[in-house]
Structure 1
Amino acid sequence: MNLANKRILITGGSSGIGLALARAFLARGARVVVTGRRPDVLATAVAELRETGGDVLGVAADIGAAEGRATTLREALAHLGGLDILVNNAGGVRAGRLEDVPERDLQAMIDVDLLAPILLTRAALPELRASGEATVVNIASGIALVGAPFYATYAAVKAGLARFGESLRRELKGEGVHVLTAYPGGTDTPMMKSNRAGPELGFSREPASDVAEAIVAGVEAGAFEVIRGGETRAKMIALNREDPAAVDERFLGLKPALEEAVKDHSAL
């Protein structure tokens, strides 16, 4: 896909991977709308993006709510005149033992990380079909491929998002809409600030710009998925498939330190 003049909507685009994606798409001549829940942070991000001279609009809305999704799509279409690429990037996380995570936080992850992308994609499908060459990008997580302790619900919703994308890709095959799923590993974003786990616990971090460039390259190539983490991640995925008990044992040795390091990891 040639991205010049493509009309792109990125949810959660005011920081982290979403903001890095906006930069990367704009650099290729695309037109971009980014959303965010915090108007001040969104305004700062849009001002920075506009310094490049690109066509960008910010929409302050909570895509976890029906009204926010409606506002997002309405304002994006009014500005862009249609839609070629939808990036479902907005999300939240709350780590910790399942019985210690408040129910409201569990519900928030389900609503924002899984239900909202499904419903926003559903609402956007007529415009995406009208494009004739459209792509939905779902930002899942490496944890969707190898579940980690203390992230049970986050792993569940991100894995659900991944399978949603796979199924929808097959449903839309031949209809002019492609679906790509991205699996970032640890990424240096505001969402990770309260996570104190380091490489020794499996949380190496790479710049958001590197993740964004890989995803954009995947969109251009029509890839099915983009998995970050290199050879180390690939080996862990293979081991989890071939000998999951070995992965269980590996995490058993890390559990005390990992629980302490992620107990305050919250970005909702």
Structure 2
Amino acid sequence: MGFAASVFGSADGGARRATGRLAAAALGAVAARAAFSAARRAVATDGPARDPKMWNRVNHRGEPVTLLEGPAYAAGAAAALAVVPGVPAPLRAAAVGAAVGAGAFGVYDDLRGNADRRGMRGHLKALAKGELTTGGVKILGIGGVGLLAGALVRRGPQDTLVDKLLAGVTVAAAANAVNLLDLRPGRAIKGAAFAAAPALLRSSETAGVGAVRWAGLGAALALLPEDLDERAMLGDAGANALGAVLGTAAAASASSRAALAGRAAVLTAVTLASEKVSFTKVIAGCPPLRALDGLGRRA
């Protein structure tokens, strides 16, 4: 029996599957921590291109935080996904591409973003008028990343162009949905973990898809302490990359076109709702959500 099979197990190897999932999460965590340490060392060196001020932002308390958590997540998750055993080649390529692509467009918006347009609707209105905002670049870029990932994971004999498009929407909408939560410390990572929990605990999850989910979420959880302590934040780079990785797993694991359409519809509805509803106000007004949102955060 090969290494991948011995670690990730077959359908009836519950213990081996659990071990494999934990190994994938640990691999993601180690890679993310290493990437974060390397990023902090890099910006500490001299040179205008590595100016630490470039990566600093002011949070909701008016305190400085670093954006390096985002690129560190994207790089760490991509590295872990590239080597974690038991993942089929098309799914591996889609997951790595989703992390790198969504992370790269997120970095661009983090560093070059203009605040004169807000929300998906604002950027799309600007595009309709022939104005390409940084947010518009990110929308188009992550949309393309999602379509590519969707085409890679829906390659079965029953999958048509419709399935590939629905998968692409799922990946891109998941990237945006997680980013919508990145308004308070730890919220995006907690929200992603909560949304992925049913699939993470599903015994019927295939080894490859499970490895993608656990590696992607393990990388995020490893960076949660700095996020909760308000020393770092995911920013667009990390939140978009995290959502895209989990969206890729969601698109790959859908058992039917109806299930795929349902996932795409729910995630798109979240984006549309954000144009009208403040998620922060909704969370503040719901005691259970408010307690979960504040868990582990500074008083």
Q: Name the TM-score, length of structure 2 as normaliser.
A: 0.27
Greater strand fraction, Structure 1 or Structure 2: 1
Q: Name the TM-score, length of structure 1 as normaliser.
A: 0.29
Greater helix fraction, Structure 1 or Structure 2: 2
Q: Larger relative contact order (C-alpha < 8 A, sep ≥ 6)?
A: 2
